[in-house]
Amino acid sequence: MLCPMTKWTVNDIPQQNDRTYVVTGANSGLGLETARALAAKGAHVIMACRDLDRGRAAQARIQGGRTEVRRLDLADLESVREFAAAVESVDVLVNNAGIMMPPLRRTAQGFELQFGTNHLGHFALTGLLLDRLSAGDAPRVVTVTSSLHRTGSIRFDDLNAEKSYSPIGHYAQSKFANVLFGLELDRRLRKAGSPVLSLLAHPGYAATNLQSSGPVKLIALLGKPANLLLAQPAAHGAVPQLYAAAGSGAESGRFYGPSGFQEMRGRHPKEVRPVRAATDPDVAGRLWAVSEELTGVRFP
């Protein structure tokens, strides 16, 4: 049985002076809380945000450390390339940003928006930054997924939602892809003898703007009261990914979530199990090959 961490909290994050973190989607929710906690420990945090004005407004709410806002649109691979090219050094990449259950939309390159943003954008970003991560101090890649990955699968025959589209189903697919990617990245890094660690995290049910601003109208309407009644604060939801990013005991290839009931909430992280289908190296390898083809990014 997997046991909770020993009451670990953000106060247990070691000092992060001289360390650089890239946090995607850092202008709100889990990303903002992650950036805030790391900056409070002295880290240099690059807040990767699609909207610079919102990013700067979020930056103004952070104290400590050194933060800077840079534009990154994960739904546009050209933006991903431009962002990555400007990053001189990085120790930890937190693949946090995501979109949730919108109406059918496409990325700049024509991919289904959730798969293109949540998976392909982060896949490309990680590959483009891997050389600088490899030169970093105790480098890590943290990929943030969702407990809904357990209902997902990869529709290899319809990745682009040309035959059918389900906001919930395609969200689950993108989160399932996150887990496949994080575990496959760990396998490849270990085989290559790389110093980079690959870890996964999920926040449980945390109150962010994902549930109310992104989804189709009916789901968004349901999300607002559910957030008020059931969700834990974003600061609590960010704890598993902060442990994965900066906890001294976090290990590569591991998956961390909230310690409370059904992994839905909790102030402390614990190691959790991904759904068994997401641990299949054959499916992960197939997704990796498809992702390289679609993004044009091949890992060094």
**What confidence tens digit (pLDDT) does each residue in 268-292 have?**
999 999 999 999 999 999 999 999 9
Rounded distance, CA 145 to CA 23, Å?
14
Rounded distance, CA 30 to CA 50, Å?
15
Helix (H, G, I), strand (E, B) or coil at 267: coil
| Cα 219 to the center of its chain, rounded Å | 22
Report the pLDDT value the prediction gives residue 211, as an integer from 0 to 100. 47
By CB neighbour count within 10 A (0-12 exposed, 13-18 middle, 19+ buried), where does 42 fall? middle
Residues forming the active site? 171
Whether residue 236 contacts residue 206, with contact meaning beta carbons closer than 8 Å, is answered with yes
What sign has the CA pseudo-torsion 110, 133, 248, 29?
Answer: negative
**Nearest to residue 178, comparing CAs of 261, 58, 286, 287?**
287
Report the pLDDT value the prediction gives residue 78, as an integer from 0 to 100. 98
Beta-carbon contacts of 56 under 8 Å, excluding residues fewer than 6 positions away, are 69
Rounded distance, CA 11 to CA 152, Å?
34
Rounded distance, CA 186 to CA 86, Å?
25
Report the pLDDT value the prediction gives residue 247, as an integer from 0 to 100. 98
Report the pLDDT value the prediction gives residue 222, as an integer from 0 to 100. 54
Report the pLDDT value the prediction gives residue 264, as an integer from 0 to 100. 79
Q: What is the pLDDT of residues 32-81, one digit of tens each?
A: 999 999 999 999 999 999 999 999 999 999 998 899 999 999 999 999 99
Q: Phi, psi at residue 223, to the nearest 5°?
A: -65, -35
Rounded distance, CA 119 to CA 154, Å?
11
Q: What is the pLDDT of residues 184-233, one digit of tens each?
A: 999 999 999 999 999 999 999 877 766 455 665 555 555 555 555 467 89
By CB neighbour count within 10 A (0-12 exposed, 13-18 middle, 19+ buried), where does 14 fall? exposed
Domains annotated for the chain, with CATH where assigned, are: 15-203+237-293 (3.40.50.720)
Beta-carbon contacts of 244 under 8 Å, excluding residues fewer than 6 positions away, are 140, 142, 199, 200, 201, 250, 254, 256, 269
Whether residue 57 contacts residue 87, with contact meaning beta carbons closer than 8 Å, is answered with no
Whether residue 126 contacts residue 95, with contact meaning beta carbons closer than 8 Å, is answered with yes
Q: Does residue 92 register a pLDDT over 60?
A: yes
Report the pLDDT value the prediction gives residue 157, as an integer from 0 to 100. 97
Q: What is the pLDDT of residues 130-167, one digit of tens each?
A: 999 999 999 999 999 999 999 999 999 999 999 999 99
Q: DSSP H helical segments within the chain, as ranges?
A: 29-40, 52-59, 77-86, 113-114, 122-134, 167-192, 210-213, 217-230, 234-237, 239-246, 281-295
Mean pLDDT of 100-113: 98
Alpha-carbon distance values, 218 to 109, 112, 223 (Å):
28, 20, 9
Give residue 263's pLDDT band: very low, low, confident or very high (50, 70, 90).
Answer: confident
Whether residue 125 contacts residue 182, with contact meaning beta carbons closer than 8 Å, is answered with no
**Nearest to residue 263, comparing CAs of 202, 188, 200, 181?**
202
Q: Give the length of the chain.
A: 300
